Amino acid sequence: MVAIIDYDAGNIKSVEKAFSYLGANTVITRDPKEILKADHVVLPGVGAFGDAMGRINEYGLKSTIDSIVANETPFLGICLGQQLLFDSSEESQGVSGLGILRGEIVSIPKTDELGNSYKIPQIGWNRLTFPREGRLYKGIDQGAYVYFVHSYYLKAADRSIVTATTDYSVTIDASVESGNVFACQFHPEKSADVGMQILRNFLDV
């Protein structure tokens, strides 16, 4: 059973369809009992950091997520769901994130070091580089393309948790893994065969 946490964020149905396509039983829920009994838990997200944390706190989901991590249930944050795992974001000053992992969420620069301009938000396909072996990327080649939609990105404090990066104006920490906690800035549910393999690998954890 895959529990997809419902905190009124966008893109939940796309995530549900992707896991159903892979044959997983899914439930979209904010009921702590249902979430805690699931075999895998997913925190999706599209939207603003502050609004998302407001809903998570309103629905009392932070303690549930903390319990999932403590219980070592495989947990996957997607897009905004990755950013929320960290302490804070430039997008919403003064708002505390879940604080499960250490790092900064900062805005993507509009120009790189050479003065080249970039459209923000980044919308489209970009290549992944794997600085270390990550369980989500078993069977996936270096340079595989995945789909991004974001204006902010992670700079992880602990480089050992970074399992994938991409380059768009700067080097972006595109994915992390720490114990039972996995996350990716891109959308695997929108990343064709590569994305399906990533989700399949998550289900195998």
- Averaged over 183-198, what is the pLDDT? 98
Q: Which residues pair with 170 in a beta bridge?
A: 168
Spatial separation of the C-alpha atoms in residues 100 and 150, rounded to whole Å = 21
Strands (E) in the chain, as ranges, are 2-5, 26-29, 40-43, 75-78, 103-107, 122-127, 145-150, 152-156, 162-168, 170-178, 181-184
| pLDDT digits 0-9 by tens, 24-59 | 999 999 999 999 999 999 999 888 999 999 999 999
- Averaged over 138-150, what is the pLDDT? 97
Phi and psi dihedrals of 171, rounded to 5?
A: -80, 125
Residues classed as catalytic: 79, 187, 189
Whether residue 111 has pLDDT greater than 80: yes
